[in-house]
Structure 1
């Protein structure tokens, strides 16, 4: 028991922060070893179990919560995991958040998160969301924290280009007096700053407006309140990843970001691409082929496949992808494919055709150059049809001994003829073999012969 506990004369432990119904559940657990858990009582039970040092119950609750992370519970799970250092739950909740970030940021469920927790979550590399959505969430959170309207927020009414969002700060009488009685010392210190910066190094907000600009008026108190919250959350936004037009149109004229950061954004856009390695990378920059909006579903399929493996399901691991081969960059031949991809363990292949289709597959085994077929249990294929906008999956159902083919004269091969990328990409095929079908690709439509314009292969890592 904790040393800080105090006992009354009748030897009763007093824990006023544990509600009686919650303690009844804990007493039930201590007497029977069982507890009937639901999501609505999960957080208070974990809080109390941590207080009482019931480590086995905490572990059981964490395992339960990892299975229950969803759209309605993910922010509560993030807060719970951060509050008690639950690493397994944090991994599960952040993985879910990253996949569905764009939808989740469009809700108001993040309101209850602590500022530092929300900043940590928004800073994750694997978030699949537009950077402008991350900035919008920071602005809405700053409004909410200060009791201002965060739903109909004027700072998020972005004008069409070439218009800019500009903030005009209305000075009160004290501010006007201070502004009109500046000393020589103040004037001297101003010489060290740009004419477009205020005393705190932020871009001035009363720049000359254009008729196409949208001007938002804020009192000085409102502006400083918002600036105080946003300043602590700036590391979560990758401003250098924003299109420069969006930065100028939606952010720079608000005065809510330091002028030094604005200069970095402008400087970044002046540099050639190969000179930007020291800047923060864009989020979820894995694929140069598959559209970003299609990655969430592919990741779900990938996580489901990996969860069937004991080495993944019984650990706190998370998935990371590392691109090891890009045909257009590394060479469009079978020799180059095998050079980069053989003996790499589980991989994900993504390809684009000349007709606009995207397809790919997960191979749980390594690629080889031995001319043999290799078995698998969790392999799958997927296809995106640009006409129907449907992303479909084909699972491995029959003849699993032919899950993947490691032929020296071809690129990635799934099944006997289910999917094969040729050496130069021109004679690639997706068709079901009548004799030895492996993948259920009937839903993909009739057999296809196509030209692959580019494809990439990712090595799959399980990271702690």
Structure 2
């Protein structure tokens, strides 16, 4: 047998907190002049909080008059009072409407109260009514780069963008840092007219420019405008001037011309003169309020959320500028009628679709994604489908945020893949085993959690005010995507050609044609002479080479032989004189040949023949002289030995 006395224990611990006799901790909370002292027990604090456990450890502990002293300047006394009661009783009680769940969450994160921290995150992510704007956004933007608060900050900024006047009309807006202001300005879902955004930006700039005291710009000096430009320099590129009316931009341009870059003004004016012109500067897409989406239930930002779920993006959802899907409306119940036959006529065999449902009275927005087709007739048997189960792992159902319901977007993916989608000829779209069904009476829907992760609506039966079906077209894989891109490129080229600055063309057309005439009437006789001269040179070179070869091979070798014999006889009788003469001849021949080669003279074949003959004869004569001398020396040596 066991008794549950948890409630009694909780009450006793709460009473212990009120009894300060045995306390050994003093906690000073808040900043001057709003500082409050709390007394507590170190044992309980250490058991319930990792932060206090470390603070009161032997290494860090310092006592003052028997008390541990802890300072918490970043936490308000009101928030700490809620947390200290939770530490002692285990119950989180928020009765003060001025206290925000975000402030409690940030304080619990600092004190490392992990359990309450997780519960608060879940509540803030699921319920829009749990937020206090713009206060919570101001509190959270300090933690925008902290991974622990990334999801919460994204939810906060989306809520702020959808209810933009809350933050932009508040005093806190004027104190926002530049980097966080830019985060707001670059959002595609900022639900304000562009001219309003500009006016708010000017107010922020005036507040954050020390030298500007007068709020009326007509009284400003040039120095005031220059100082304002420095303050707004990094923010101006995020204003989408092309989304303003031409009249509004002209008024703005006249008042603030000195702070707007000239190239930006030219770019916007060119866009207004031809709306099909693609801006050359920072090319930002239209805001959600001007983005084309044919729906009476959802806006473009909701479409980006669904697109992120389709692509299974776990992080931040798509921005409008890079959303890869087209949402093409193929059925609207109030337009086509609520009948089953009309639904299947419009939606069967259309590929992936998204169903969006608006619930009557509550205003809740729910729906589902079907990556397959909808069908009412079985293709194989040509009979009506009756609760035919279709398998897929990519389908999901969801609920979207709505101001009236106060619900944060919720995703529920399929868990039982075999019955993810149901085809039925006498029903509308059906997801799972009644996870989301539209009955044969298309104004009534059912929702029971069976084949998908979570429930998306509290009531099991609901009345439908309106519902729409969108065909999902993946622009990345469309077979006509490349053709469209090519055509767009061609149109862009043609556009540039036709929008070419004609002043430049005029200058080109008025080019001095006399110069062209001279170019085209160039004296071709000169060209002819140049080419004919080159041909003559080539001809001379080849004919010269051929003459040399011919001279060598047709050389009269008999004459050479006879000449050598006569010279040999002469040498026999006059050796010394012959040696001297032939030395002179060969030196002269070599020198002449070197001279001809060095200066590339074109000489006659006869002269070449003479030089060659002379050289050959001279060399041979040298050999003869050498032989004779050798023979004479050997004869003299023999005589000497015999003698």
For 2:97 and 2:150, locate their aligned partners in 1 and report how far apart those are by CA, in whole Å.
19
Residues 326 and 457 in structure 1, CA contact (< 8 A), matched pair in contact too:
yes
DSSP-derived class of the 1:74 partner = coil
> In structure 2, which of residues 418, 427, 445 is the aligned counterpart of residue 402 of structure 1?
427
Displacement of 1:138 in angstroms is: 0.7
For 2:316 and 2:207, locate their aligned partners in 1 and report how far apart those are by CA, in whole Å.
35
Aligned residues: 318
> In structure 2, which of residues 259, 265, 268 is the aligned counterpart of residue 262 of structure 1?
265
For 1:88 and 1:27, locate their aligned partners in 2 and report how far apart those are by CA, in whole Å.
27
What's the C-alpha RMSD, in Å, of the aligned pairs? 5.4
Displacement of 1:279 in angstroms is: 1.6
**Normalized against structure 2, the TM-score is what?**
0.39
For 1:9 and 1:93, locate their aligned partners in 2 and report how far apart those are by CA, in whole Å.
42
Displacement of 1:124 in angstroms is: 0.8
> In structure 2, which of residues 61, 80, 91 is the aligned counterpart of residue 34 of structure 1?
91
For 1:106 and 1:20, locate their aligned partners in 2 and report how far apart those are by CA, in whole Å.
28
Aligned to 1:59: 118
| Cα distance, 1:133–1:80 mapped onto 2, change above 3 Å | same
Displacement of 1:24 in angstroms is: 3.7
For 2:470 and 2:115, locate their aligned partners in 1 and report how far apart those are by CA, in whole Å.
41
Residues 163 and 191 in structure 2, CA contact (< 8 A), matched pair in contact too:
yes
DSSP-derived class of the 1:12 partner = strand
Residues 344 and 375 in structure 2, CA contact (< 8 A), matched pair in contact too:
no
Displacement of 1:363 in angstroms is: 4.8
For 1:349 and 1:41, locate their aligned partners in 2 and report how far apart those are by CA, in whole Å.
35
| Cα distance, 1:347–1:229 mapped onto 2, change above 3 Å | farther
Residues 325 and 341 in structure 1, CA contact (< 8 A), matched pair in contact too:
no
Tell me: higher relative CO, structure 1 or 2? Use CA pairs within 8 A at least 6 residues apart: 1
* 2:348 is aligned with 1:343: no
| Cα distance, 1:21–1:74 mapped onto 2, change above 3 Å | closer
Residues 349 and 457 in structure 1, CA contact (< 8 A), matched pair in contact too:
no
> In structure 1, which of residues 240, 243, 261 is the aligned counterpart of residue 242 of structure 2?
240
DSSP-derived class of the 2:220 partner = strand
For 2:166 and 2:72, locate their aligned partners in 1 and report how far apart those are by CA, in whole Å.
39
**Normalized against structure 1, the TM-score is what?**
0.52
Residues 91 and 316 in structure 1, CA contact (< 8 A), matched pair in contact too:
no
Cα offsets for 1:55-114 (capped at 9, x unmatched): 433333333444664699322222223222422322322232233336764565633533
Cα offsets for 1:12-52 (capped at 9, x unmatched): 33334444454343333333333223552335433433333
Aligned to 1:127: 190
Cα offsets for 1:268-308 (capped at 9, x unmatched): 44556274597211112543545xxx7xx7459979xx9xx
Cα offsets for 1:105-136 (capped at 9, x unmatched): 45656335333223212321122321111111
DSSP-derived class of the 1:364 partner = strand
Residues 327 and 471 in structure 2, CA contact (< 8 A), matched pair in contact too:
yes
DSSP-derived class of the 2:187 partner = coil
Residues 182 and 238 in structure 2, CA contact (< 8 A), matched pair in contact too:
yes
For 2:156 and 2:254, locate their aligned partners in 1 and report how far apart those are by CA, in whole Å.
33
Aligned residue runs from structure 1 range 165-184, under 5 A = none
Aligned to 2:574: none
Cα offsets for 1:425-458 (capped at 9, x unmatched): xxxxxxxxxxxx99555x99xxxxxxxxxx9936
Residues 7 and 13 in structure 1, CA contact (< 8 A), matched pair in contact too:
no
Q: Name whichever structure is richer in helix by fraction.
A: 2
| Cα distance, 1:233–1:276 mapped onto 2, change above 3 Å | closer
Unaligned stretches of 5+ residues in structure 1: 156-215, 328-333, 351-360, 381-398, 407-413, 420-436, 445-454
Residues 271 and 279 in structure 2, CA contact (< 8 A), matched pair in contact too:
yes
Aligned to 1:89: 152
Larger Rg, first or second structure (1 or 2): 2
| Cα distance, 1:362–1:12 mapped onto 2, change above 3 Å | closer
DSSP-derived class of the 1:41 partner = coil
DSSP-derived class of the 1:62 partner = helix
Residues 348 and 362 in structure 1, CA contact (< 8 A), matched pair in contact too:
yes
